[in-house]
């Protein structure tokens, strides 16, 4: 029998129809922002939104997240999300991607779950979520 790692809180996300999970400890904030992001052409910055008075620089999810599984269809993972179809923004907390945000279609949680030490999935409410981490 495999040992369980320490139970942790997770943030579930839906991206292009697939379910993923990120440790809640790596998330600074999550907010609903269905409008298109601002483009500051004079400063050559695109994908900027303001949340709680601070700028959030948006990247595509596949630029800031990685997972430890070979994908059968990498094109689905690298499909860019449109603001209307992905109204939620997740902002990362630590590391090189601190303060960067990315859009997701939907969120669930945060929820509490234990993970088997060799598992690539977090199981919650009868649903498997693929484990991802900030790159």
Q: Say how far residue 104 (Cα) sits from the centre of its chain.
A: 7
pLDDT at 72: 52
Query: Domain limits of the chain?
Result: 8-116
pLDDT of residue 39: 64
Q: Which residues contact 47 (CB under 8 A, 6 or more apart)?
A: 37, 39, 57, 58, 59
Q: Assess contact for 120 and 67: CB atoms under 8 A.
A: yes
- 38-40 and 100-104: which strand pairing? unpaired
How far is 67 from 62, CA to CA, in rounded Å?
10
What is residue 105's predicted lDDT score, i.e. its pLDDT? 94
The list of the chain residues with pLDDT below 50 reads 1-4
What per-residue confidence (pLDDT) applies to 125? Answer: 87
Considering the entire predicted model, what is its pTM? 0.82
């Amino acid at each position: 029998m495999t040992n369980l790692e320490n139970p942790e809180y997770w943030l579930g996300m839906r991206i292009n129809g697939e379910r993923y999970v990120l440790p809640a400890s790596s998330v600074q904030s999550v907010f609903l922002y269905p409008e298109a992001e601002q483009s500051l052409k004079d400063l050559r910055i695109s994908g900027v939104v303001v949340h709680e008075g601070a700028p959030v620089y948006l990247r595509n999810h596949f630029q800031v997240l990685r997972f430890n599984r070979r994908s059968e269809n990498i094109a689905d993972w690298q499909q860019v999300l449109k603001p209307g179809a992905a109204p939620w923004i997740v902002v990362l907390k630590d590391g090189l991607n601190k303060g960067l945000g990315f859009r997701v279609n939907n969120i669930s949680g945060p929820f509490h779950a234990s993970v088997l030490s060799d598992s690539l999935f977090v199981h919650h409410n009868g649903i498997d979520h693929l484990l991802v981490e900030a790159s």
